Amino acid sequence: MNFYFEASEVLNRLDAKEGSIKGILATLPENNRARTTALVIETLKYKSVLSDVIQASKLLTEEKKKITSFNLALVLVHDTLLVNGIQAGDGPIKQAILRHKTRLRSELQRIKIKRGVKSNLELAQTSDDRAAKIPRYVRVNTSMWSTEEAMQFYTKRGFQLQGPFASSKGFEIDEHIPDLLAFNPALQFRDDPSYKTGKIILQDKASCFSAFVLSPPCNDPNAVVIDATAAPGNKTSHLSALMGNKGKLYAFERDKRRFSTLKMMLSKAACRNVEAVNADFLTIDPSHPKYSLATHILLDPSCSGSGIVNRLDYLLEDEVEVVDEDRLNKLAAFQLMIIKHAMKFPRVQRIVYSTCSIHASENEHVVSRALQSDEAKSGSFKLAPRNDVLPKWNRRGQAEGMIGTGDADSLVRCSPGEDGTNGFFVSCFVREPNFVLPQAEPSKKRKADTEEAALEKRKKKPKKKVKTE
């Protein structure tokens, strides 16, 4: 029965708008995540019908002492009516549902007759039409195998290089992001052995832009890179792979639950060069001996998520979304703060700021204000030219949102339903070429060791013999 309590708690959190379906499901324990995810998603598909059935049967009224949560009733009634029954022992809660089984079935049948449908499947809520235009993207985790090996693996299983929409077994190599494969949108990879072992990462194409544009040093043992807001870890694992698992990648996540998810993800993806840090990036001192050496910083902070058109969030769209200007302004203030903080790191050369938002207030306006900040001016930051930021990608930034501070052509936008991705925004700040990097100061220990070695050398140095007449 704990499984049902866990699923109902996810529904409670969704009702409280604590995050997206995908985000909340990512915080579940790995060992039970797939089962709980399936129940939550299927329950949401039939939520409208199940709610009517529960209300008509007066289940909660007659069993209020046993079933105190509406969402618990939803998941239990779902399994009672639409699958093979409640998967739990005969406890008082299960018995409370079974006492009303006949009535529940009668109410479901009455709804089917009223709506003129013959099967339960016809009662399910259909998906967002835009999601059907987005391929199922699979990023090959090159920390574990090559793209060539991955392609051989899938072709041996009957997949063909003919495009993701040509057939259910069609796929192709993405033209913009290396090591990214596009499959048919209807495909599921949760049970794929490559997914279970971390050899592939399910990640939207637009989400891959951030790490790719940051372009961290590859196979450099001295490289230092920061992922400022790392959980759940898709972009972090991408950065690690791009770095060839060399150097040091610091991944910050302040939330303890999400930090736990991040560590599991990094372990599964075999990210050996990552040090996960359970801390708020904004509290990190830019002059810290370890972190001050960072030359590349990835910023993908909290945003409205208005660009996400995945195969789950449509299940929560009960009404037309109203843009909350106050919330957008608060998010924009936080986003600007994190960019300005990143610009304070003394050796940083490249900063990527991205969001999964379609609003200029979180995108062009934030970038424009960042360019006008004291941090940008003192650090000699500007926007990287288009040639350094996915030059072949056609959809660029909105010029009217830049307020004369930078070239909108340097920015990247993705439009949901039109570009084969979710909605996304990417910008890249770089130092001016004439900026002089501060020399890294040796640590106290290294300095002391150096001084001691010099003293020993002086002691051992033979004295010159003075010639005598």
Domains of the chain, CATH where assigned:
2-123 (1.10.940), 129-202 (3.30.70.1170), 215-431 (3.40.50.150)
Assess whether pLDDT exceeds 70 at residue 443.
no
Assess whether pLDDT exceeds 70 at residue 454.
no
Assess whether pLDDT exceeds 60 at residue 451.
no
Is 84 in a helix, a strand, or coil? coil
Residue numbers annotated as active site: 356
Cβ-proximal residues to 133 (8 Å cutoff; 6+ apart), any chain: 185, 417, 420
Cβ-proximal residues to 78 (8 Å cutoff; 6+ apart), any chain: 39, 42, 43, 46, 50
Q: Which amino acid is at 53?
A: V
Average pLDDT for the chain: 89
305 with 359: CB under 8 angstroms?
Answer: no
pLDDT digits (tens, 9 = 90+) for 322-365: 567 888 999 999 999 999 999 999 999 999 999 999 999 999 99
Residue 18's pLDDT is what? 80
pLDDT digits (tens, 9 = 90+) for 365-424: 999 999 999 999 999 999 999 999 999 999 999 999 997 788 999 999 999 879 999 999
Residue 128's pLDDT is what? 67
